[in-house]
Chains A and B, each alone.
Chain A
Amino acid sequence: MMDGVVARPDLWASFIWPAYAITLVGLVGLLAWAYISMTAAEKRADEVKRK
């Protein structure tokens, strides 16, 4: 079912795939940035505390 939908030209012509791709890249990027910055800062805070 999924392959059929992905290949359908009307979904490309309606800009559905570009809209979903941009949204998902934005969401995943934002989540990854928040997670990496949090783990890096908390790790550094623990190191500084132990010094």
Chain B
Amino acid sequence: MHRYANPARFLKIARVATPIVALLGLALTAAGLWIGLFNSPPDYQQGESVRIMYVHVPAAWLGAGGYLSLAIASATALIWRHPLATIAARAIAPAGAAFTAICLVSGALWGKPTWGTYWVWDARLTSMLVLLFLYLGYLALSASEAEKGGEGRAAAILALVGVINLPIIKYSVEWWNTLHQGSSISVVNASSKIAPELLTPLLLSVAGFSFLFAAIVLMRMRAMLAQQRIEARSRRLAEALA
């Protein structure tokens, strides 16, 4: 891992990987949403509204999964001080916040025809809203630290503290009586309660959204590394002129 923490080596790999990852993401997302909208059957209970699942579930997984990767990057930055770890964390945060927001909005739009309401202070919905606030808090704190030339330690600690919310999100539907349904897919047991006709477009969308998330993170990391090069060059020029 230390080998790839070198920004020059990372950039060499990222320049090749970015278009491939982005195109894979676009193709898989288009395939998943197309099949989900036009070639998959309606659910026997929910009817047509089940099609919102193909955007809601991938967004929810990436909102939570993104936060886990933000926390891992923050821990790496705090413990090993990898030069890329803080940049990776800062690149993950806006993408994770956007996917969490998409999950909340699409969930509210799914809730209206299914439950008869856009919002309830249900444990799953509330913990996802807390996740969005954690992302926003991280973004505000890291922007403030970056402005003052800090290393982002306070933001990294906030990211680590916020990890406590992830098991709460996951088990909220088991620990409390919630309006939100329980999980239909288990990664641990590799099992699913969803019919294959509905599962195929869902897995395609999840894969597509994941590649798009990775492409956004790679592009943001490249932008931040370029910004660092500009600042370093400007500093050297100013020192030479002084």
Contacts and interface: CB of A to CB of B under 8 A. Distances in A.
Interface of A: 1-2, 5, 8, 10-11, 13-16, 18-20, 22-23, 26-27, 30-31, 34-35, 37-38, 40-42, 44-45, 48-49, 51
Main secondary structure of the interface of B (DSSP, over half): helix
A48 B234 contact: yes
B90 interface: no
Nearest to B58: A23
Interface stretch (B97-105, B124-132, B135-143, B157-165): B97-105
Given A13-B113, A14-B113, A19-B55, A30 B98 contact: yes
Contacts, number: 100
B220 A38 contact: yes
B230 A19 contact: no
Interface stretch (B70-78, B172-180, B193-201, B211-219): B211-219
B166 to A, nearest CB: 22
Contacts of A5: 37-38
